């Protein structure tokens, strides 16, 4: 997994400011990105970004500026409109092989293979299916090569077996329960024009459901663990988008090395992404490309899948340390959050004092802004809101077993847990606008968190019993940055 040989963007590569980026001071000050960045631009850079086509790489200055904005998470790649239909654009991609791991899903496999671009090489890896003949017939009908595992070895091993057969410079891993939408491949492929980008992933929607869809299906439409939202992003450890799922990804073969960690039955996709980032590769999330996924919509299967996701945190913590931290707090947000949760007479003055000290300190580092104090106040207010959101989520999701036990003995703890559970779900319902009433959405949200937390604690406790670390439950991963 060697780092990229070049980070030089090619001529014609264009970027546009991210929807998450706030523009201040007439364009001179950019705030946001995937890690809370503040960047001040020279007048020439402001002019370049004001162009209607975005910032187009034409010379060394525009090349450096585009790279800086991409790496800070302040801008995203952009391209001109297609001259052909999305399906025709997919057909024009000729340097990608699709690898499909499958286990006992011949009908789903046939659906997927029928949706892939014609003439593109496909490797189907049968990971120990009970009826391999059915898998073989479906693959043969689509002209795909088949690799057979006599015993189930897990998705990581299956993808690696397919990767070993790839002769093209790029590989797309697509799960058998996925249906790509037209344009998915060509949009993802465009990202790899950046030689520093090692992997890119699309948005993962659920399969389209009608008006008679059940409450769980409606919840998953907007709250699936695989759906990372409608805004493109640079993937960053502890960032706004911290991972991408392997349900569908496109990667540079040279970046993958030996591929996925075969010792991991869950979380292997997160591990791969973080290893790529650690080696210096860029990873991107691109919702402009989309696929549909068969979400689990029976309560038992759904809860089991959420717990399965949570169980990977212990292994990820051993391999990547604080990257899995449930909360990321600076010193002042830790003081502010602790004061609010304490619910004492001194809580309000301490919380206001920590916010005020942070605001004044930050304003001194923003002297180049037109209104340093006002800009700092906005940033610290946003930081305080984010810290409270993290605390509410952690109380209900990562630490709910502890929260419930403490609540049995403390009125303040019960109050904090109740407020966190209700407010978190209400704000999330308002933001996501599901086809589901607030009451049932709250129940689904809390069941989601309870299952994930149960899997998390189960995985961590089993590792602690074997002398391993509590790292996945470490509450504070300080980032001492301005």
For domain 86-297, the CATH class is: alpha beta
Find out whether 176 and 112 touch, Cβ atoms under 8 Å: yes
The domain spans of the chain are: 14-78, 86-297, 331-473
250: left (phi over 0), alpha (psi -120 to 50) or beta: beta
pTM above 0.95, yes or no: no
DSSP 397: T
Q: Whose CA is closest to 312, among 272, 282, 252?
A: 272
Q: How confident is the model at residue 33 (pLDDT cuts 50, 70, 90)?
A: low
- The three-class DSSP label of residue 96 is strand
Handedness of CA 246, 399, 422, 341 (dihedral sign): negative
Q: How confident is the model at residue 479 (pLDDT cuts 50, 70, 90)?
A: very low
Find out whether 16 and 56 touch, Cβ atoms under 8 Å: no
Give the chain's mean pLDDT: 91
Q: Please give the span between the terminal C-alpha atoms of the chain, in angstroms, as a whole number.
A: 31
Find all residues with CB under 8 Å of 48, minimum gap 6, and list them: 55, 61, 62, 65
155-209 pLDDT per residue, tens: 999 999 999 999 999 999 999 999 999 999 999 999 999 999 999 999 999 887 7
pLDDT of residue 230 exceeding 80:
yes
Find out whether 347 and 416 touch, Cβ atoms under 8 Å: no
pLDDT of residue 461 exceeding 90:
no
354-399 pLDDT per residue, tens: 999 999 999 998 988 999 999 899 899 988 998 999 999 999 999 9
Taking the C-alpha atoms of residue 440 and residue 264, their distance in angstroms, rounded to an integer, is 34
User: DSSP string covering 405-432, please?
Assistant: HHHTT-HHHHHHHHHHHHHHHHHHHHHH
Q: How confident is the model at residue 321 (pLDDT cuts 50, 70, 90)?
A: confident
């Amino acid at each position: 997994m060697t780092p990229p040989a070049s980070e030089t963007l090619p001529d014609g590569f264009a970027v546009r400011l991210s929807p998450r980026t706030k523009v201040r001071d007439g364009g001179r000050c950019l705030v946001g990105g995937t890690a809370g960045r503040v960047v001040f631009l020279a007048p020439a850079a402001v002019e370049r970004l004001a162009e209607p086509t975005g910032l187009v790489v034409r010379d060394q200055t525009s090349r450096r500026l585009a790279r800086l904005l991409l790496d800070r998470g302040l801008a995203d790649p952009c391209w001109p409109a297609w001259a052909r239909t999305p399906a025709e654009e997919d057909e024009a991609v000729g340097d990608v092989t699709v690898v499909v791991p499958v286990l006992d899903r011949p009908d789903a496999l046939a659906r997927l293979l029928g949706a892939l671009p014609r003439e593109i090489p496909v490797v189907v890896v049968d990971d120990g299916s009970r009826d391999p003949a059915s898998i073989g017939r479906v693959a043969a009908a689509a002209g795909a090569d088949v690799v057979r595992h006599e015993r189930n070895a897990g998705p990581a091993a299956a993808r690696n077996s397919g990767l070993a057969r790839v002769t093209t410079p790029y590989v797309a891993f697509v799960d058998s329960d996925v249906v790509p939408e037209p344009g998915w491949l060509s949009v993802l492929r465009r990202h790899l024009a950046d030689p520093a980008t090692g992997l890119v992933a699309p948005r993962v929607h659920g399969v389209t459901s009608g008006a008679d869809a059940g409450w769980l299906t409606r919840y998953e439409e907007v709250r699936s663990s695989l759906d990372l939202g409608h805004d493109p992003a640079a993937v960053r450890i502890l960032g706004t988008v911290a991972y991408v799922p392997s349900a569908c990804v496109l990667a540079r073969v040279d970046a993958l090395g030996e591929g996925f960690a075969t010792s991991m039955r869950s979380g292997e996709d997160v591990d791969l992404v973080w290893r790529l980032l650690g080696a210096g590769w860029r990873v991107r999330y691109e919702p402009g490309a989309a696929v549909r996924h068969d979400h689990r919509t029976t309560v038992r299967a759904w809860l089991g899948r959420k717990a399965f996701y949570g169980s990977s945190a212990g292994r990820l913590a051993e391999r990547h340390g604080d990257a899995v931290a449930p909360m990321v707090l600076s010193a002042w947000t830790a003081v502010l959050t602790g004061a609010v949760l304490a619910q004492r007479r001194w809580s309000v003055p301490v919380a206001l004092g920590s916010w005020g000290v942070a605001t004044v300190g930050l304003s001194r580092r923003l002297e180049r802004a037109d209104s340093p104090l006002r800009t700092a106040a906005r940033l610290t207010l946003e930081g305080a809101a984010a810290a409270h959101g993290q605390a509410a989520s952690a109380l209900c999701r990562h630490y709910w077993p502890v929260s419930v036990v403490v609540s049995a003995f403390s009125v303040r703890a019960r109050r904090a847990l109740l407020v966190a559970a209700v407010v978190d779900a209400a704000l999330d319902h308002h933001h996501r606008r599901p086809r589901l009433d607030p009451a049932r959405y709250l129940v689904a949200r809390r069941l989601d968190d309870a299952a994930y937390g149960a899997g998390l604690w189960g995985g961590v406790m089993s590792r602690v019993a074997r002398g391993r670390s509590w790292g996945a439950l470490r509450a504070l991963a300080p980032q001492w940055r301005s």
